[in-house]
Amino acid sequence: MADEFIADDIDRAIVEQLRYNGRATNQQIADRLDLTAATVSARIRRMEDENKLRVVAVSDFSAHGYNVLMEVAIEVDGRAASEVAKELAEFPEVFAAHLVTGRYDIDMLVALHDFDELTDLMLNKFSKVRGIRSMSPAIAVDVVKYKFDVAPIEARGAA
């Protein structure tokens, strides 16, 4: 298919270089991979145009003063879970909100500066959102893995 994306070894190597150093220039990547900068540029542009590659910055929570990482599982009643999730996602403390299967309807990841913010967030902010039946917070005591580069580019084929 013309619009099906098939990554080759060169595309994978370029992506790996960008994962290692997202600020690398096309020339630096080309030098490491024995390519021309024009080839690197063209391949990156093609992957971006086909929505197969997006270069983003990921910051460290603790570097920005966030010392509490928490998951909140939410049961919804009397309102569409998607509406509740969209409303919850508007809170600046929420950095990820997912509609999920299983006992809960929504799963969120929340970052707080310190535990003093927890009561206000749960009792004065989240609990005011219509449709929440229950909330089950779980505080992360250790981060074992935190990566955004886990999906191989082959897994992002055209839909």
What are the sequence ranges of the domains in the chain? 9-57, 62-139
Provide the residue-wise pLDDT of the chain in tens; the chain has 159 residues. 344 555 788 998 998 898 888 889 999 999 999 999 999 999 999 998 988 888 776 667 777 788 899 999 999 999 999 999 999 999 999 989 999 999 999 999 999 999 999 999 999 999 999 999 999 999 988 878 776 655 555 544 444
How far CA 100 is from CA of 20, 75, 97, 137, 139, in Å, comes to: 31, 10, 9, 16, 19
Q: Report how far residue 41's alpha carbon sits from residue 46's, in angstroms, rounded to the nearest whole number.
A: 9
pLDDT given for residue 28 in this prediction: 96
pLDDT given for residue 2 in this prediction: 42
pLDDT given for residue 55 in this prediction: 75
As a CATH number, domain 9-57 is 1.10.10.10
pLDDT given for residue 53 in this prediction: 84
| Helix 26-33 / helix 37-49 crossing angle, nearest 10 deg | 110
pLDDT given for residue 59 in this prediction: 66
**CB 3, CB 158: distance < 8 Å:** yes
pLDDT given for residue 149 in this prediction: 58
Residue 90's φ and ψ, nearest 5 degrees, are -75, -20
pTM here is 0.63
Domain 62-139 has CATH 3.30.70.920: yes
pLDDT given for residue 156 in this prediction: 45
